[in-house]
Structure 1
Amino acid sequence: MDVPGIYARCSAAFGERVHLVGDRWGAATGLPGWDVRALVNHLVTEERWTPELFGGATIDQVGDRFDGDLLGEDPLATYDGAAAAALATIREPGATERTVHLSFGDRPGSEYALQLSADHLVHAWDLARALGTDDILDEELVALLLDWYVRETEALYHRIAVIGPRIEVPAGSGPQAELLARFGRVG
């Protein structure tokens, strides 16, 4: 599966759950200090950054433009618009071959798109848990992202402290439990 395809499916997994929120924007999540609205806002923030970073902007050039609550009065429409714009950017020809300027250094666009994919997929699980809906993640996506994460990204995430400690899971717990544990969740 190509990177834009992985991203599209992970974005859809999160988006499907956003469309189940209804009036539960204030529901607690398993993430300290984040309710459902804060969780969705986090992904909207990432999605707003995506066209900027794939367009060659630096962190300093974007600045604080996407700080704060971006969801406004119609969080669902805001989410849908931001998700569509990010997906269109990642699907642009050559997007994953571009260099993106991240806070921890320049990275290939393909790597950044996989980082975003993993964030969408893990947060799809967080959102499902907060809403009490189906929290089973796509097995193929889990396997692809677990392999990528272990080989290429986990050490970096711990070194730059953007993720909490890994949780140990019993042997044989399965790929979803392993991926979630590596992202600090008990699944």
Structure 2
Amino acid sequence: MGEIAERYRRRAEAFERKVAAVRADQWGNQSPCAKWTARDVVEHVVTMHGVMLTPVARKLEPSDDPLTAFQEARAAIEDVLDDPVAALTETDTPAGPMTTERHIDEVVSDDLVLHGWDLARATGQDELMDPLDVERLWATAVAVPPELMAKYRTPGAVEVYGPEVPVPADAPLQDRLLGLLGREP
């Protein structure tokens, strides 16, 4: 198993544990993402998994149960990562051409970390992110050019992140990452 597949599996396992721990009465809880409930967070993650499958001619069958939907999405992505032809298929992305496995790594795998925190916050679970993941996401986030970051924060456009939340410079890296990405640590 390669590094990307291993990282994805570790992150997917952590995210799945969070989804499984959500009580039935918590799915409507507000998440840190202004427009999303806990259920919306999982639906977004599952939808993005489906987007990653499109270039390799695979698709997800919808499920109304968030845990089942994520488990099926996870299995489909793991199948792609285990298939050298599918994993190495070149695909066009907003960031330019890249392999399917790299696209998975840079989008849904990273999303599992951040949206895992969103889900944990919405449902009262442990919010601690893996320090290695925090370092990786921090390095990626600070490398985003300011003009692109501004576009990511534009309501009605891309709106990937909310407005930056001020966090003390000496705060833990996880808090600085969350603040940079528009979340209140």
When the two structures are superposed, what TM-score results if normalisation uses the length of structure 1?
0.78
Whole-Å separation in 2 of the counterparts to 1:154 and 1:100: 26
Alignment-derived partner of residue 73 in structure 2: 82
Task: Select between 147-156 and 34-43 the one with higher mean Cα deviation.
Answer: 147-156
Residue identity in the other structure for 1:85:
A
CA deviation profile, 1:67-87 (whole Å, cap 9, x unmatched): xxx442x33212211111123
Equivalent pairs counted in the alignment come to: 175
In the TM superposition, residue 177 of structure 1 has moved relative to its aligned partner by 1.0
Shift of 1:112: 4.7
Partner in structure 1 of residue 121 of structure 2: 129
Unaligned runs of 5+ in 2: 153-157
Q: Distance in 2 between matches of 1:98 and 1:152?
A: 25
> 1 CA distance for matches of 2:14 and 2:146?
22
1:135 aligned counterpart, secondary structure: coil
Over 3 Å counting, the alpha-carbon distance change for 1:126 and 1:84 in structure 2 is same
Assess, with a 3 A threshold, how the Cα gap between structure 1 residues 20 and 119 changes in structure 2: closer, same or farther.
same
Percent of aligned pairs with the same amino acid? 28
Q: For residue 155 of structure 2, what is the aligned residue in structure 1?
A: none
Q: 1:78 to 1:157 in 2, by over 3 A?
A: same
Per the alignment, do residues 39 and 91 of structure 1 end up closer, same or farther by CA in structure 2, a change over 3 Å counting? same
Partner SS for 2:143: helix
Q: Does structure 2 retain, via aligned residues, the 8 Å contact 1:29–1:129? A: yes
Shift of 1:147: 1.4
1:107-127 deviation digits (Å, cap 9, x = unpaired): 323255222222111110010
- Is the aligned partner of 1:6 residue 2:11? no
Moved over 6 A (4+): none
For residue 18 of structure 1, what is the aligned residue in structure 2? 19
Please list, as runs of the form range in 1=range in 2, the aligned pairs for 1:1-187 lying within 5 A after superposition.
2-23=3-24, 24-53=26-55, 55=56, 70-72=62-64, 74-93=65-84, 97-102=88-93, 104=94, 106-109=96-99, 110-151=102-143, 156-159=148-151, 161=158, 162-187=160-185
After superposition, the C-alpha distances for 1:54-109 in whole angstroms (9 at most, x for unaligned) are x179xxxx9xx99xxx442x33212211111123223432656543223x353323
How far residue 168 of structure 1 moved from its aligned partner, in angstroms, is 2.6
Give SS of 1:106's match.
coil
**Aligned in 2, Cα 1:92/1:84: closer, same or farther, shift over 3 Å?**
same
Structure with the greater relative contact order (CA < 8 A, sep ≥ 6): 1 or 2?
1
CA contact (8 A) 1:56 1:100 kept: no
Q: TM-score, normalised by structure 2?
A: 0.79
> What is the CA RMSD across the aligned residues, in angstroms?
2.8
- Structure 1, unmatched stretches of 5+, are none
